[in-house]
Structure 1
Amino acid sequence: MPFYVMEWKMRAGCPKKAFECFLGTGAPFPGVKMQRFHAPGSVNGWIIAETDDITAIYAHAAEWAEFLEWNTTPVLPDEEAGATAAKVFPEFAK
């Protein structure tokens, strides 16, 4: 299942409204297995999301776009990155 790192930063002037929405709803992320991390001060953070449905990633980012700026990056675990690198550079594969 694909993984995404979603980095967020609160927009200027939005922390109070963002906290109100987050604390009121818990920021559900339907269809996505995820872990959410907050930096001290809670004005930025990260979500490690796992899903086959990229539209769920889009929907969550769009839902919170009023309060947050997003940078979303698809990522691979070591096993998949290593297997792909071994195909590209077979001379280095074990």
Structure 2
Amino acid sequence: MTLYNKYLKIFEKSFYLYISFGILLSSCVGGVAAMLVLMNGSGPLEMFELFLITCVAMGYNTAVLADLKPKITYNILLGSVGVSLLIILLNIF
């Protein structure tokens, strides 16, 4: 069993617990990423990064509100946190 499948099973088992945790995680990591982007300026590249962060964070919230299947919601959560972490790393260095 891969690490992905292991955590997907855990996510599916306690779906309603983890969607609220996911909203907090996605929003907080997205907020940190947005703060770091805006600390670097407000040019077109920074505004595109801010747009991207907002879209992926709201994408997870939309998946939760639309009551999508747990696997789809989990994948969107991973994508949201992954994109936000990538932008954090790009703006730190």
TM range (shorter): 0.3 to 0.5
TM-score, normalised relative to structure 1: 0.35
Counting strand residues as a fraction of each chain, which structure ranks higher?
Answer: 1
TM-score, normalised relative to structure 2: 0.35
Counting helix residues as a fraction of each chain, which structure ranks higher?
Answer: 2
